[in-house]
Amino acid sequence: MGIYAIRVPDIGEGIAEVELVTWHVQPGDMVAEDQSIADVMTDKATVEIPSPVAGKVLALGSAVGDTIAVGSELVRLEVEGAGNLKENSAPAPVHQAQVAPVSIAKNNPPAAAPTQPVAPAQIASAPSRPGAAPRSAPAVARAAGERPLASPAVRQRALDMGLELRYVHGSGPAGRILQGDLDAHAAAGGQVQAQGPAGYAERHGEEAIPVIGLRRKIAQKMQESKRRIPHFSYVEEIDVTELEALRAKLNQLHGATRGKLTVLPFLARAMVLALREFPQINARYDDEAGVVTRYAGVHLGVATQTEGGLMVPVLRHAESLDLWACAAGIASVAEGARSGKAARDALSGSTITLTSLGALGGIASTPVINHPEVAIVGVNRMVERPMLRGGQVVGRLLMNLSSSFDHRVVDGMHAAQFIQAMRALLETPALLFVE
């Protein structure tokens, strides 16, 4: 039998380190050849690491959430044959703590702790004087309308101490509250053991959740964006009554054969047409090199909520797609992100991002720019409101567009003109089909 060390492979693209996201094996497990042993995350994607050999897991080289350099030892296996580690080689620091307690418990069961006899003096030291309630007695809330028994002096002192008598345990005859009961209740912190509905019970639990994996990448990305980009936001109200009527008509005529349309393909088309007038917004800014790169093609980032967190897959060349092709493309890249099957190149290279919270979109928002882009447009929910049209009060379907821009690259006037151009296209949807 030999020892085989599996190391973090070179994933390419100049990646020097990865983050360990998930272990698929534990010490003592048998591993088959090509079986996935762990998932690691780079800046762009999550990658599975398979085992090149079959064997038994001896130790794990890192814990979930650790950042590991490429080439570092990941797993150590016991294999048939010589393996790739010499017997006299220095062992790498590995995490065996997960199984050490188990093996120790099996081989060397801990001796039972000797029982300490209670001295009579300890028993005698318990409070026995009348008027002092045991400190271990729970403070039980009396039923509603039940009047606690207490003398006027006790009631006045409880009022001065800020204690509610219905929660104080009485040690006197028939549950009468004595002066010592107030002292014991105050010394215990005045805590209440409620007997009412469970929903009103005090809760004191805490849960520490490590920020690892995709959530850590999202946090780093958002922090970098807000630290490096001076954001400014712009919100505009849009009348989408005619747009929704057109969408409903197109779905009625072609929904069965071409698929149903959401509002996103219309917004994407409006962005494509408006960006032709404002190419400085369809851009990426390399602030370290001091270079703004403008793009002729619109590579649309589609903010997508997944189980692991927010991801931004890319719909490439949105300018070349009609409404139904755009709808299919958005659905495809979003599903790839949610299922974790999106390729690395599908998660990078966007030039502007479209984000939507759907029915939860609220009235307005302040979206965070997807660095190194210079703009993001957010969709809020549609609301029917009364409006004046031709001197008449009529119900109209309204929706806000919430956008953010990089003020280093985009001037406020140009940002407003860009959103107004989108507004004109969306409020007159026939213009979306005019080149």
Which candidate in 10, 286, 322, 411 is catalytic? Answer: 411
Q: How many C-beta atoms surround the C-beta of residue 186 within 10 A?
A: 14
Nearest alpha-carbon partner for 405 in 372, 376, 370, 365: 376
Long-range interactions of 224-228: CB distance < 8 A, separation 24+: 224/371, 225/368, 225/369, 225/370, 225/371, 226/368, 228/287, 228/371
How many whole angstroms separate alpha carbon 314 and alpha carbon 316?
6
Sign (positive or negative) of CA dihedral 421, 426, 428, 431: positive
The question of whether 407 is a catalytic residue gets the answer yes
Contact 102, 25 (CB under 8 A): no
Helix (H, G, I), strand (E, B) or coil at 64: coil
The question of whether 231 is a catalytic residue gets the answer no
How many whole angstroms separate alpha carbon 44 and alpha carbon 333?
15
How many whole angstroms separate alpha carbon 324 and alpha carbon 347?
22
Which candidate in 24, 231, 254, 407 is catalytic? Answer: 407
How far apart, in Å, are the Cα atoms of 231 and each of 18, 281, 405?
A: 30, 14, 6
The H or E element spanning position 158 is helix 152-161
Question: Which residues, in sequence order, are bridge partners of residue 50?
Answer: 36
Nearest alpha-carbon partner for 327 in 248, 249, 264: 264
3-state secondary structure 302-342: ECEECCCCEECCEECCHHHCCHHHHHHHHHHHHHHHHHCCC
Place of tokens 């001076």: 230
Contact 182, 154 (CB under 8 A): yes
Sign (positive or negative) of CA dihedral 321, 325, 327, 333: negative
Burial of 352 (0-12, 13-18, 19+ CB in 10 A): buried
Helix (H, G, I), strand (E, B) or coil at 423: helix
How many whole angstroms separate alpha carbon 166 and alpha carbon 116?
39
Q: How many C-beta atoms surround the C-beta of residue 54 within 10 A?
A: 15
| Side chain identity at residue 148, one-letter code | P
Q: Which residues are catalytic?
A: 407, 411
